Chains A and B, each alone.
Chain A
């Protein structure tokens, strides 16, 4: 009997201790996209590195993508468990700002490797990249050298793109063409559409089809060839450099207004801008880190194209025109 009691007493003690331990260890909840949290994404390393310094537990919740995260936050309103949102991009920041769910970070971006100055009181960038058409050097000899050439050349390469209604790169191409062609975008799309093999739901389908050899080029990122170089030692892939420049995507994080742990959340933002977070990014997220000097990038990043000038439309303009631009696109593409 005594033994049984001692056993239960011991268990009870252990349980209460573990509860006590939970009570003193706060949990920081970060909504992010799924590929960030995956085994090969930045998530696991970021979690280990931050937990080593914060005396807290970091919970990364992976959602489908930036749009899902923001929608989730809107649906939850003040009831959200999220302290931070990490992974919306510059085509969504205006909408996120309008939702009034975020609080100023009150930090300054001291060192930045972004090509443009960063002024934003709500959002801090952690990485960025550029959209580009990726091709297989063994299959395509003379890739177009400009977006105009890609559009105009009727004998040009076939391409795979993503749907702007469902995919971030898809929307990126829409904005890229808008930036370069302005009012003549519809004509550009009409010309280009003959060489679009298909428009997929997400990046994965298009990239998968491209690797199966369904088209000459696929809409992806300038940094995509780095994956093949570094992870697969495969040098066949390259991004075509376009003379007009490449449309940029900057990924940011923001502090959720309803968070009960703002100090801890700000500590995370601080950590996000530090070298220990930033150096994880290039070979896990396959993007350019936002504050790490380029000399600290993996050597193979040198082989990537120079995407300058960086093209970016004003976020307010994107937010106000996005729907009507997509409707125009649907109209042209459905003809």
Chain B
């Protein structure tokens, strides 16, 4: 029981810090009456047809984008799972981590290079609208969903496959009785995460959406905080977005079914029919080409660009170090916070307190939908009277990125940690294995692979982040995404492309490194 209490306390601390980082800034923004020239607008604005339209559009495009990303991702992940010997498998899976790190503006350029009027597969002007939004969102999220779903296949015990074979199950039956139950544990969470990522999408939707018809709630929040300078309105809209996501999350996570726990050791090569093999190869190649094309266009542009001129500047290397620093620290804090939350949630769910466990999961997941602009501005209001905020830019940026990365940790580490806890908790208790020893001898060897993925995802996300650092402004060195943005803003588009390529190489290295160092030698 003592362990449970320590778990509750650490998780409680994490939740308190989370609440402080997410909710305190909103309170700070609501309490701005003393500011000259600021009159709070009419808060009944949410009845306006503008907000209703924006709300409808945000949800609609997020739902469509989510479905278009996650449904194919199930097929692709399944293909990857059954083709363990597929050549280039490891490389492809790492490639699938890249879209996460591409700053939105660079991704837009990549998508346009492929599907724009001069592109390889030209959609002409019909790209701008729902088509463009969906293409870009699938580019971002399909690979992510594949990465998050794939480990579920490894949780299927080998003797299940053998049993299935003995019973003469066909492909459909195997899917229905073996794979689907395993998938069901992770799928709702992944759907929720992708839905949130698409809901809060901003520059992609605005630029590829063709015009203000395609306005998301995130744009409206940005507009009210910046353009209208109405912080109260921005906070109310942010709360609206948070409540909608909470509702969606409650419904989605209800669908989550935890499979009965069995010990799965080692993997067994599953019987794969020749026809199935061809289909799998086709699926993997299609997804690979789809993800690779925008990145390839960037690569081609970059190699035609002034590589030496860009590499020769000291600013670039400073930015590279700053970016790396932010990415690694955000990953460290995010994974640590996620670890403590998940430990408590797992122990609750083992004790049969499922709804309480889901509530923790929920709290860690939905923080993503509070716009960084709101958090940042609010923190500013709260901190600037007491601190020199500029001296604290990096810690603040790391903290916000760690919070934004938390849902990725919950999704990538959650299922494995929960299963592990269910399998071994009682054993650990009977062996009095706890604390550091439990981590060292039991959890680390079994969970290092998902831990590596979680850290790699958060690091990639933080390294590609533009919003938070641009918001604070800094007299010191910029991050690589900010540098890209500065170059784009100064007509230096070829230079920006080269910098973007360097950012991709850096992220790929970090992703690969973290997966390797933390995750160990096994392939993903």
A residues in contact (CB < 8 Å) with B: 31, 34-35, 37-41, 59-64, 67-68, 71-72, 74-77, 79-81, 95, 98-101, 158, 163, 165-166, 193, 196-209, 211-214, 224, 227-228, 231, 286, 323, 326-327, 329-330, 333-334
User: Which residues does chain A contribute within 8 Å of B384, judged by CB atoms?
Assistant: 75-76, 79-80
User: What chain A residues lie within 8 Å of B37 (beta carbons)?
Assistant: 74, 95, 98-100
A212 touches B36 (CB 8 A): no
Q: Is there contact, CB below 8 Å, between A71 and B474?
A: no
A205, B227: Cβ atoms closer than 8 Å = no
Is B324 interfacial (CB-CB < 8 Å)?
no
Instruction: Flag if A61 contacts B473 (CB, 8 Å).
Output: yes
B385 close to A209 (CB less than 8 A):
no
Question: Contact between A208 and B226 (Cβ–Cβ < 8 Å)?
Answer: no
B321 contacts chain A at the CB level, 8 A cutoff: no
Name the A residues within 8 Å of B223 (CB-CB): 165-166
Tell me whether A286 and B211 are in contact (CB under 8 A): no
| Closest Cβ neighbor of A171 among chain B residues | B227
Question: Does A200 contact B474, Cβ atoms closer than 8 Å?
Answer: no
Q: Which of A61, A193, A326 is in CB contact (< 8 Å) with B390?
A: A61
Could you tell me the distance in whole angstroms from the C-beta of B210 to the nearest C-beta in chain A? 5
Looking at the complex, which one of B35, B118, B226 makes contact with A213 (CB distance below 8 Å)? B118
In the complex, number of A-B residue pairs with CB atoms less than 8 Å apart:
171
Which residues of chain A are within 8 angstroms of B50 by Cβ–Cβ distance?
327, 330
Asked whether A74 lies within 8 Å of B474 as measured between CB atoms, the reply is no
Determine whether the beta carbon of A40 is less than 8 Å from that of B492: yes
The answer for the CA separation of A202 and B215 in the assembled complex, in Å, is 14
- Kindly list chain A residues whose C-beta atoms are within 8 Å of the C-beta of B32: 75
* Cβ < 8 Å to A, chain B residues 109-146: 109, 112-113, 116-118, 125, 128
Nearest-CB distance from A134 to chain B (Å)?
11
Instruction: Judge whether B116 and A212 touch: CB under 8 Å.
Output: yes
Contact A214 B36 (CB under 8 A): no
Among B34, B206, B215, B491, contact of A207 (Cβ-Cβ < 8 Å): B491
Q: Could you tell me the distance in whole angstroms from the C-beta of A275 to the nearest C-beta in chain B?
A: 23
B176 on the A face (CB < 8 A): no
Give the shortest distance, in Å, between B375 (CB) and chain A (any CB).
13
**Chain A residues near B493 (CB-CB < 8 A):** 207-208, 211
Max chain A C-beta neighbours (<10 A), residue from B116, B118, B219, B489: B489
Sort A-B residue pairs by CB-CB distance and give the 10 closest, nearest first: A204-B488, A63-B473, A38-B486, A99-B37, A200-B207, A213-B118, A35-B489, A227-B491, A198-B128, A201-B206
How close is B373's CB to chain A, nearest CB, in angstroms?
10
* Least Cβ–Cβ distance between B104 and chain A, in angstroms: 9
B interface vs A, CB < 8 Å?
A: 32, 34-38, 50, 53, 105, 108-109, 112-113, 116-118, 125, 128, 202-203, 206-213, 215, 219, 222-223, 225-229, 313, 315, 377, 380-381, 384-385, 388, 390, 470-471, 473-475, 478, 482, 485-493
Tell me whether A165 and B474 are in contact (CB under 8 A). no
Within the complex, what minimum Cβ distance (angstroms) separates A298 from chain B? 15
Q: Name the distance in Å between A70's Cβ and chain B's nearest Cβ.
A: 8
Chain A residues, Cβ within 8 Å of B209:
198
A75 touches B118 (CB 8 A): no
Q: Complex formed: what's the CA distance from A91 to B117 in Å?
A: 35
Contacting residues, chain B, for A34 (C-beta < 8 A): 470, 473, 482, 485-486, 489
CA gap between A165 and B221 in the complex, in Å: 11
Most chain B CB within a 10 A radius of its CB, from A101, A204, A329: A204
Q: In the complex the two chains form, what is the Cα distance from A82 to B488 in whole Å?
A: 27
- Residues in A with CB closer than 8 Å to B315 are 39
Q: How far is the CA of A121 from the CA of B141 in the complex (A)?
A: 53
Q: Is the CB of A205 within 8 A of B491?
A: no
Question: B residues within 8 A CB of A214?
Answer: 112, 116-118
Q: Are B207 and A67 in contact, CB atoms less than 8 angstroms apart?
A: no
B35–A74 touching, CB < 8 Å: yes
Q: What residues on A are CB-neighbors of B219 within 8 Å?
A: 165-166
Bound CA span A197–B132, Å? 12
- CB <8 Å contact, B207 and A205: yes
A229 CB, nearest partner CB in chain B, Å:
11
Query: Are A333 and B473 neighbours in the complex by a CB distance under 8 Å?
Result: no
Known: A79-B385, A95-B37, A99-B36. A286 touches B207 (CB 8 A): no
Nearest CB of A to B481, in Å: 12
| CA A140 to CA B223, docked complex, whole Å | 35
Listed A/B pairs (19) with beta-carbon separation below 8 Å? A34-B470, A39-B313, A61-B474, A71-B225, A71-B229, A75-B380, A95-B229, A100-B37, A163-B206, A166-B219, A193-B211, A198-B211, A199-B210, A201-B206, A207-B493, A209-B109, A212-B113, A286-B491, A323-B228
Point out the residue from A40, A76, A196 that lies within 8 Å of B380, measured CB to CB. A76
Q: Which residues of A contact B210 (CB under 8 A)?
A: 196-199
The distance in angstroms between the C-alpha atoms of A213 and B489, with both chains bound, is 18
Which A residues are CB-close (under 8 A) to B113? 212
A163 touches B490 (CB 8 A): no
B226 nearest CB neighbor, chain A only: A67
Q: Do B53 and A205 touch across chains, with their CB atoms under 8 A apart?
A: no
Which residue from chain A places its CB closest to the CB of B471 in the assembled complex? A64
Residue of B nearest to A161 (CB): B211
